Chains A and B, each alone.
Chain A
Amino acid sequence: PAPGLLTIHEETHIYINLNETFPCVRLLNATHQIGCQSSLSGDVGVLHLLESEENLDWVLRTGPNPPYMVILESTLFTRPILMKLKNGSSRVAGVLAVQPTSNPPEGFSPHTSCPNENTGVYSETYGPSYAHCNVTMWNPLGTGISYEEFDFPIFSVKDDNDTEVIRRCYMEHNRAVNGSTPQYPLCAMQLMSHMAAVTDTATCMRRNAPTFSLAPDGVCDPLGDANIWASTKPLNSSTKGHKDGVSVLDSRSFFFDVAPGADSAATGLVALLAAASALHNATAELNRTILYTFFNGETFDYIGSSRMVYDMAKNDFTVDLDNIHSILEVGQVALGPDSRLWLHSDPVSKRNSSVNVEVQTLVSNLQAAAAGLNLSLGEPNVTQPLPPSSFQRFLLERPIPGVVIENHQTSFTNKYYQSMFDNAEYLKLNYPPNLTPEEQLELVTDSAKVATTVARGLYLQAGGELAQMSRIQADSELVSKMLYTFLVRVNNSWFDQLVKSDWTGNRPTNFYIGVTGQYFSEPALMVQCILANLTGSIANITEGNCQDKKMDKDENMNKDRDSFCVRSLVRQSKALSPAFELSEYTSKNYSTWAESRWSAIKGRIFLVASHDLEMLTLGVGVGVLLMSLLLTYIVSSKADILFSSGREPTNATY
Chain B
Amino acid sequence: MTAAVFFGCTFIAFGPAIALFLFTIAREPLRVIFLIAGAFFWLVSLLLSSLVWFISVQISNKESAAQQKGLLIFGVVLSVLLQETFRFGYYKLLKKANEGLLTLSQEETMPISIRQLAYVSGLGFGFMSGAFSVVNILADSAGPGTVGIHGDSQHYFLSSAFMTMAIILLHMFWGVVFFDACEKRCWWAVGLVVVIHLVVSCLTFQNPDYTATLVPAYVILFGMGVWAFYTAGGSLRNIKLCLTCKDKDFLLSNHRPR
Contact = CB atoms under 8 A, between A and B. Distances in A.
Interface of A: 1-6, 10-11, 13-16, 44, 169, 185, 187-188, 190, 604-609, 614-622, 624-625, 627-629, 631-633, 636, 638, 640-649, 651-654
Given A2-B133, A633-B23, A647 B233 contact: yes
A459 to B, nearest CB: 65
Contact of B8 (A10, A190, A621): A621
B156 interface: yes
B55 interface: no
B8 A608 contact: no
A654 B1 contact: no
A645 B238 contact: yes
B96 interface: no
A4 B24 contact: no
13 contacts: A3-B213, A14-B146, A185-B146, A609-B5, A617-B9, A620-B8, A621-B11, A629-B19, A632-B19, A633-B19, A636-B24, A642-B234, A654-B113
Given A14-B140, A649-B257, A3 B163 contact: yes
Contacts of B251: 641, 644
A614 B4 CA distance: 6
Contacts of A169: 149
Given A4-B207, A6-B69, A624-B12, A13 B109 contact: no
B147 interface: yes
B233 A625 contact: no
Contact of A5 (B11, B20, B150, B205): B205
A607 B168 CA distance: 30
Which of A188, A615, A631, A653: most chain B Cβ within 10 A? Answer: A653
Contacts of A187: 149
A608 B146 contact: yes
B137 A625 contact: no
A249 B160 CA distance: 58
Contacts of A608: 1, 144-146
B4 A14 contact: no
Instruction: Say what secondary structure dominates the interface of chain A.
Output: mixed
Interface string B61-95: 00000000100100010010000000000000000
Contacts, number: 188
B241 interface: yes
A15 B149 CA distance: 7
Question: What DSSP secondary structure best describes chain B's contact surface?
Answer: helix
A2 B233 contact: no
Given A643-B234, A644-B238, A632 B1 contact: no
B5 A3 contact: no
A621 B12 contact: yes
A584 to B, nearest CB: 44
Contacts of B163: 3
A14 B153 CA distance: 11
A653 B101 CA distance: 14
A2 B137 contact: yes
B199 to A, nearest CB: 13
Contact of B239 (A631, A642, A649): A642
B18 to A, nearest CB: 7
A653 B109 contact: yes
B146 to A, nearest CB: 5
Given A615-B4, A642-B238, A644-B238, A636 B23 contact: yes
Contacts of B164: 3
Nearest to A4: B207
Contact of B15 (A2, A44, A621, A649): A621
Range of interface residues on B (Cβ < 8 Å): 35 or more
Contacts of A647: 233
A619 to B, nearest CB: 7
B8 A619 contact: yes
Contact of A3 (B2, B12, B207): B207
B15 A625 contact: yes
A617 B146 CA distance: 13
Given A5-B204, A190-B144, A614-B2, A644 B233 contact: yes
B76 A1 contact: yes
B190 interface: no
A648 B241 CA distance: 18
B235 interface: yes
B207 to A, nearest CB: 5
A565 B126 CA distance: 72
Contacts of A617: 1, 4-5, 8-9, 12, 157-158
Contacts of B113: 653-654
Contacts of A2: 132-134, 136-137, 160, 204
B3 to A, nearest CB: 8
Nearest first, the 3 closest Cβ-Cβ pairs linking A and B are A606-B145, A621-B11, A621-B8
B235 A645 contact: yes
A614 B11 contact: no
A627 B146 CA distance: 27
A516 to B, nearest CB: 37
Contacts of A643: 232-234, 238
B148 interface: yes
B133 A614 contact: no
Given A614-B8, A643-B238, 5 more contacts: A3-B213, A13-B152, A15-B145, A621-B8, A645-B237
A187 B144 CA distance: 11
A554 to B, nearest CB: 51
B258 interface: yes
Nearest to B236: A645
A605 B157 CA distance: 19
Contacts of B258: 648
B211 interface: no
Interface string B241-258: 110000010010001011
Nearest to B165: A624
B7 interface: yes
Contacts of A648: 258
A47 B242 CA distance: 57
A188 B2 CA distance: 14
A641 B238 CA distance: 6
Interface in B111-159: 112-116, 132-134, 136-137, 140, 143-150, 152, 154, 156-159
B19 A628 contact: yes
A14 B24 CA distance: 39
B16 interface: yes
A654 B113 CA distance: 5
B165 to A, nearest CB: 7
Given A188-B144, A606-B149, A10 B109 contact: no
B250 to A, nearest CB: 10
A97 B37 CA distance: 56
A14 B23 contact: no
B104 interface: no
A301 to B, nearest CB: 40
B149 A10 contact: no
B201 interface: yes
B45 interface: no
A4 B5 contact: no
A621 B3 CA distance: 12
A5 B255 CA distance: 51
B204 A632 contact: no
A619 B7 CA distance: 10
A11 B140 contact: yes
B110 A1 contact: no
B135 to A, nearest CB: 10
B208 interface: yes
B147 A618 contact: no
B144 A44 contact: yes
